[in-house]
Amino acid sequence: MAGSETHYTLPRPSFDQAPKLLIVVAPYYKDIADALVAGARAEIEAAGGSHDTVEVPGALEVPTAIGQAFRMANFDGFVALGCVIRGETTHYETVCNDSSRAITLLGLQGACIGNGILTVENRAQAEVRAEVAGQNKGGGAAAAALHLIALARRWGGARRPVGFKPESEEFRIASADKGPMA
């Protein structure tokens, strides 16, 4: 049983400049979500950071909101929170796999994300994992984001776009001056 095992936890990173994180939570199971958020906020504040929190309808919308904020806002990192409890249909697998995959892809693009979306078999498992005095998975997700922010700052922290570069304004003007192609 995982509850009786001991796990190594990295020491909390320290920062010269306080990090700002966005907590994105799907409060479908409100009591579970509230516990996850409490753990995340406590961990961020213990590291000297600040945070904003936004709610989205479900776990599938969490990565979309993070992706929008990553492109359009000025956050150092993100904490993804929510809970998916297995039901009677295959919807569970879709939500778990697709939300996790999207968060991973955003991370590979440079977003510093701690994934605290619980994927459990039943409510009892969710409660144990969300409880701040228990497994505190919200705090763990915030800690993961803080560690990634520390690494990004260590390695330069500059955001570099991935993929194709947009056409530059100078290129469009120069091409327009040459007229239609023969």
Active site residues: 91
CB under 8 A, 24+ apart: contacts of 121-129 = 121/85, 121/86, 122/85, 122/86, 123/29, 123/32, 123/85, 126/29, 126/32, 126/83, 126/85, 127/32, 127/35, 128/3
Q: For residues 169 and 127, give the distance between their C-alpha atoms in angstroms, rounded to a whole number.
A: 53
DSSP per-residue letters across 48-100: T-EEEEEE-SSTTHHHHHHHHHHHHS--SEEEEEEEEE--SSTHHHHHHHHHH
Q: For residues 145 and 113, give the distance between their C-alpha atoms in angstroms, rounded to a whole number.
A: 5
